[in-house]
Amino acid sequence: MAPKIEYYCPCLAESPYPPPPHLASSSYSFHALHNLFFCEECDAVRCNRCVLVEVSGYYCPNCLFEVPSASVRAEKNRCARNCFLCPNCRNTLTVVPSDPPEDVDSRMSPIVSTTLGEPPFFLYCNHCRWDSAEVDITFEKPTGLAAQLQKFEDSAPESLEFERLKEHFEPFLRASSSSTALPSASSHHVHTNPITAAASSALARDIPGVGKYNPLSRSRIGRDKAAHRQEYPDYKSRVEVGHAAALSGEVDVELLRHLETVGEVASLEQRWSNSWVTPLRASDLKPLRIPLQSKKSKRCPSCRHILIKPEQKAQSTRFKIKLVAANYLPAIAVTLPHAQAALEMMKRSSAKSVSAAAAAEEQQTAGALIAGHSYSFHLAFTNPLYDPIQIRLAKAVVPAHMTEDAEAAERARRSTFQIQLPSAAFPVGAFAEAWEYDDEDEDMFLDEDGVELLDARGKKGKDGRGKSRSVGIVDKRANVTIVSGEVLIPKEARGDVKFNMLVSYTYRSDDPEPSEEVEVGTPSRSHGTNKAPEMKNFSFYTVVDLGSIMYREEPKLTADL
């Protein structure tokens, strides 16, 4: 497994320290850099777990039609054009005409070739060969199929019942929402956290009549309900419930009695996503209109500033606002030089023969961390800012009171690996657009650079085998600086080599007003003004995973050391 690094988002934690990385639960707090956002206002990293998500637009994933939010409700969140899912395999269905008449003359005649095919049309699955003629659904014309099918959908007894229920409760909801509107102004904002507040306001916007959720006012509504109960008549269903259930139950029993294969019963997955009761028999399943998808904008959970705002166009991959952490924090890549050297050696030797499986197996063992050895690892920092930064690394130390079982922690500490990181601050060059340009002439230059680097690394690898090993800067070019650290694995160590690392970096702040001391500056890609550069500091936690420790019983290897 390749070594990797992940960044910490403190949203789940109660303390400012990241959880110990060997706990399984810690994986929820660490994310790859490209999944993180950065809020300029709060000067903090945000992740997908903590941002507030809002729907900014709906579209059909098949025909890519952007559905106006007004019609989303009327169309029941599904595509109202010609898009259907196969009830068997969830593939999209295509409209196909019936087979043309057999005799060749009519097929060649211009009348047939100008039309789109012979009616009746039906829906056909390209994957499992299901077609809608099996369930007696055919169409006279190949357009507006959803409208033709919606008639069936709306006339389903469940749908009618639901409409009736809605009608019945409409006046009640209207009354209760108006009654809750008054107390909500006074007491609401105290007890709702931002997430539930946003959710409830979104719900209130989409479904009129649903008041803002508030655990306090709930009981009050209950009392109101009790007071007003007499004003509303009892609901009378269209069909007597017990009667209807008994009817369908007997049919089901009869069906199951004559069952021959399991496939005749529709699987849970096939019945799951439908709104209404679906037939028990797989052969009775109806095509489904495709559920709509949404484009989402994201907000910072604490200051509500927008972090992600997509463009209106559904299929555009550009964003009006996109504050991703990759533009603010240095990107870090971890490598194990000894594993890379081994890999290269193998590639060269096994270029001709050696089966792929054997090579893969060898790769695994060659790059392994063996107990009782020490290895150096490289951390490559890439600066995304237009100004040079100074980085300082530290091993994250959790204060003693944080660990509840001190004895166990001590034992764990003793038996596991030791990490050495460069203690001095090191610079990383500024990002310049020029590095991005890779025109033909520059390619040559780049190539040479690559060679030089490789040689250096090769030498490094040899050094690694000997005694002398360095902890410090290995290489520096453009906006990338590579530093090396060292890990010492004792003989009795087990598990993964995983440790938390605190990365702090100083950058030139370009806050316009230095008088505002309270406000913390934010690193930003834009160039600062001509004022004297003010240095700001930002730190974040990461977890470095170098891979798991291999344990070998071979005495020869240990003697080698």
Partner 1 sequence: MDLPIYYTRAEYIETDTGNKVSRRATISGPQNIILGGKTIIASGAIIRGDLRRTGPGHAVVISLGRYCLIGEGCVMRPPYKTYRGNFNYYPMKIGDHVHIGANSIVEAATIGNHVEIGKNCIIGKFTIIKDCAKIADNTVIPPNTVVPALALFAGSPGRFVEDLPESTPEMVEAQTKQYYTRFQPLPQER
Q: What 3-state DSSP class applies to 233? A: coil
Provide CB contacts within 8 A for 364, sequence distance 6+. none
- CA-based nearest residue to 328, from 523, 71, 153: 523
3-state DSSP assignment of residue 548: strand
Q: Measuring CA to CA, which residue among 29, 8, 46 is closest to residue 304?
A: 46
Q: Taken in order 12, 15, 18, 20, is the CA torsion positive or negative? A: negative
Residue 316 binds partner 1 (CB under 8 A): yes
Instruction: Kindly tell me which of 304 and 320 has the beta carbon lying closer to partner 1.
Output: 320
At residue 409, the 3 state secondary structure works out as helix
Q: Which stretch binds partner 1 (CB under 8 A): 6-14, 107-115, 168-176, 195-203?
A: 107-115
Q: Is 274 in the site for partner 1 (CB under 8 A)?
A: no
- Residue number with CB closer to partner 1 (100 or 171): 100
Q: Is 61 in the site for partner 1 (CB under 8 A)?
A: yes
- Residues numbered 364 to 383 that lie near partner 1 (CB under 8 A) are 378, 380
Of 27, 106, 126, 237, the one binding partner 1 (CB under 8 A) is: 126
Choose the binding region for partner 1 from 38-46, 441-449, 462-470, 496-504 (rule: CB under 8 A): 441-449
Instruction: Return the number of the residue (20 or 384) whose C-beta is nearest partner 1.
Output: 384
- 544 or 549: CB nearest partner 1: 544
- Contact range with partner 1 by CB under 8 A, out of 108-116, 181-189, 238-246, 525-533: 108-116
- Smallest gap, in angstroms, from Cβ of residue 32 to partner 1? 8
The contacts of residue 71 (CB under 8 Å, 6+ apart) are: 80
Helices and strands, number each (H, E), in the chain: 15, 23
- Those residues with Cβ within 8 angstroms of residue 375's Cβ, 6 or more apart along the chain or in another chain: 336, 338, 369, 464, 486, 487, 489, 546
Selected binder of partner 1 within 1, 28, 63, 208 (CB under 8 A): 63
Question: How is residue 124 written in tokens?
Answer: 């056909």
The residue range among 134-142, 219-227, 392-400, 447-455 that interacts with partner 1, by the rule CB under 8 A, is: 447-455
Q: Binding residue for partner 1 (CB under 8 A) from 347, 413, 527, 531? A: 347
98 Cβ contact list (under 8 Å, min separation 6): 117, 118, 119, 120, 121, 122
Helix, strand or coil, per DSSP, at residue 217 = helix
Regarding 333 and contact with partner 1 (CB under 8 A), the answer is yes
3-state secondary structure 428-480: ECCCCHHHHCCCHHHHHHHHHHHHHHHHHHHHHHHHHHCCCCCCEEEEEECCE
For residue 106, give every residue at least 6 positions away whose Cβ sits within 8 Å of its Cβ, in sequence order, or none.
Answer: 100, 112
In angstroms, the CA 522 to CA 42 distance is 9
Query: Residue 246, interface with partner 1 (CB under 8 A)?
Result: no
| 192 C-beta neighbours (distance < 10 Å), count | 18
Using rule CB under 8 A, residue 206 touches partner 1:
no
4 binds partner 1 (CB under 8 A): no
Tokens of residue 406, six digits: 């001190």
CB of residue 27 vs partner 1: minimum separation in angstroms? 17
The H or E element that residue 196 is part of is helix 194-206
**Distance, C-alpha 529 to centroid of its chain:** 37
Cβ atoms 29, 8 nearer than 8 A: yes
- Sequence-ordered list of residues with C-beta below 8 angstroms from that of 118, at least 6 positions apart, any chain: 97, 98, 99, 100, 101, 112
Q: Does residue number 429 form part of the binding site for partner 1 (CB under 8 A)?
A: no
Q: Which of 22, 27, 28, 64 binds partner 1 (CB under 8 A)?
A: 64
Q: Least Å distance between CB 417 and partner 1?
A: 23
Among 44, 67, 288, 314, binds partner 1 (CB under 8 A): 314
CB contact burial 460-498 (16+ within 10 A = b; e otherwise) = bbeebeeeeeeeeebbeeebbbbbbbbbebeeebeebbb
Please give the Cα distance from 294 to 75 (Å, whole number). Answer: 15
**Interface with partner 1 (CB under 8 A), residue from 94, 150, 201, 504:** 94
Q: Which of 24, 262, 400, 451 binds partner 1 (CB under 8 A)?
A: 451
Query: Among residues 322 and 536, whose Cβ is nearest to partner 1?
Result: 322
Is residue 108 within the footprint of partner 1 (CB under 8 A)?
Answer: yes
138 part of the interface to partner 1, by CB under 8 A: no
Least distance (Å) between residue 171 CB and partner 1: 40
Q: Taking CB under 8 A as the rule, does residue 127 contact partner 1?
A: yes
Binding window for partner 1 (CB under 8 A); candidates: 22-30, 122-130, 177-185, 485-493:
122-130
- The interface with partner 1 within residues 380-419 (CB under 8 A) comprises 380
How many residues bind partner 1, per CB under 8 A? 48
Q: Does 59 bind partner 1 (CB under 8 A)?
A: yes
- 346 touching partner 1, by CB under 8 A: no
Q: How far is the CB of 341 from partner 1 (least distance, A)?
A: 9
Residue 443 near partner 1 by CB under 8 A: yes
Residue 440 found at the interface with partner 1 (CB under 8 A): yes
Give contact residues for partner 1 (rule: CB under 8 A): 34-35, 59, 61-64, 89-92, 94, 107-108, 113-114, 125-128, 293, 296, 308, 314-317, 319, 322, 324, 326, 333, 335, 340, 343-344, 347, 378, 380, 438, 440, 443, 446-447, 450-451, 454, 482
